[in-house]
Structure 1
Amino acid sequence: MGMSVFPVFNPKLTGVKFEAEGKLLFDQFETLDAIAETIEVARFSSFGDDRPIPEDFDGDEEDLEAALGPWDEWYSPVEGLKTMVALLDAIAEEPDFADQLDDCEHVVEELTEMKTCLEAAVEQGAQFRLELAP
């Protein structure tokens, strides 16, 4: 059992749903961020809650949410789409990037699923953000 990352949309999308588990995206987000930095696009994780964890915090996830307070930031699906397309292109075109990923084929499947949802968000005028779930 591990964490998953998935997109949330505001307003909710119609006609499309994120059909991936998101576990590989969570497991590989540091590598995806490194690839994004190398190809000079927004980091994969930059579309999620990146508020710093207080230095003295030692509780669990529920306590962290209470300590940080509500999070209501949303991002442009156009910007998210640029990152997902750039990552997919870089992985397809540069074997070194693909080699850095564990289970590259399935990471690409999850990124492609994210891309499909972001394309729909652009069409439907929805904002998005990445959230985590156990």
Structure 2
Amino acid sequence: MSLGFHPEFNPSQPSSAFACYPDGCCEILSVCEELDSFATEAGWRPLSSFADNRPVPEDFEGDPSELDDIQGPWEEWFTPADALPTIDGLIGALEENPDDVSETGDAEALLFELRALGDALRAADSARASFRLMLVE
């Protein structure tokens, strides 16, 4: 089983365009550092900034799921409109020249996931829902 990003919505969006991705965006997560670097250079907000970026205590050796016990629940939410310029920009750049964006990822799978994430965020934006990216296994 692999890790992936999955959008969580507040309030929840039962008809989310992302419901068909129960394991999340594995390709996006696997090349997230590259995507974040590209986004930052292009002047867009990094995708990882919409995920839980709280620092992990140096002496923590447990399972990531145990972090909530130490740090408390993560309560931060974002507006989809803040993420859409990044997602749309990455999609456009990948369509134009995939190697400029990610040298290690599967460009076709990455585009598929970014488009699905963009569709889900547009639907959430229309519903005035907030979102955040969660790690799922």
Q: TM-score, normalised by structure 1?
A: 0.91
1:4 corresponds to: 4
Task: Kindly indicate whether the alpha-carbon contact (under 8 Å) linking 2:4 and 2:28 is maintained by their aligned counterparts in 1.
Answer: yes
Contact 1:92 1:98 survives alignment (8 Å): no
Q: What does residue 126 of structure 1 align with? A: 129
Cα–Cα, structure 1 residues 28 and 95, in superposed 2: closer, same or farther, change >3 Å?
closer
1:5–1:133: 8 Å Cα contact kept in structure 2? yes
Cα distance change of structure 1 residues 14 and 4 upon mapping to structure 2, 3 Å threshold:
same
Aligned residue identity for 2:36: D
Structure 2: unaligned runs, 5 residues or longer? none
**In the aligned structure 2, how far is the partner of 1:99 from the partner of 1:84?**
14
Q: Please, which runs of 5 or more residues in structure 1 have no aligned partner?
A: none
Please say which of residues 124-133 and 53-62 is displaced more in the overlay: 53-62
Cα RMSD (Å) of the superposition?
1.5
1:5 maps to a residue whose letter is F
Aligned to 1:89: 92
The verdict on how the C-alpha distance between 1:10 and 1:99 changes in structure 2, with shifts beyond 3 A counting, is closer
| Residue identity matched to 2:108 | E
Aligned letter for 1:37? Answer: T
Amino acid at match of 2:5: V
Distance 2:127 2:41 in 1: 31
Q: Secondary structure at the match of 2:135?
A: strand
Segments of 4+ moved more than 3 angstroms: none
Structure 1 residues 43-102: Cα deviation after superposition (integer angstroms, max 9, x where no partner) = 010001000111111111122221111111000100111111011112222343245241
Normalising by the residue count of structure 2, what TM-score does the alignment of the two structures yield?
0.90
Per the alignment, residue 27 of structure 2 pairs with 24
